[in-house]
Amino acid sequence: MLTRKQHELICFINDRLAETGVSPSFEEMKEALDLKSKSGVHRLISALEERKFIRRLPNRARALEVLRVPERPETAKKSAATAPAGPALAGNVRKLPEPANDVIEIPLHGRIAAGVPIEAFEGHSMLAVPAALLGGGEHYALEVSGDSMVEAGILDGDYALIRRTDVARDGEIVVALIEDSEATLKYFRREGAMIRLDPANRAYDPQRYAPDQVRVQGKLAGLLRRY
Q: At what angle do helices 38-50 and 4-20 cross, to 10 degrees?
A: 90
Residues near 221 by beta carbon (within 8 Å), at least 6 away in sequence = 133, 134, 135, 139, 161, 162, 163
Give dist(CA 34, CA 183) in Å, integer: 40
Give dist(CA 114, CA 144) in Å, integer: 6
Give dist(CA 51, CA 31) in Å, integer: 23
Give dist(CA 1, CA 95) in Å, integer: 14
List 5, 30, 145, 186, catalytic entry = 186
Do 156 and 145 form a contact (C-beta atoms < 8 A)?
Answer: yes
How many residues in total does the chain contain?
A: 227
Residue 105: Cβ within 10 Å count: 17
Active site residue 46: no
List 95, 148, 181, 219, catalytic entry = 148
Active site residue 39: no
Give dist(CA 152, CA 189) in Å, integer: 16
Give dist(CA 26, CA 31) in Å, integer: 9
Q: Which residues does the annotation mark as catalytic?
A: 148, 186
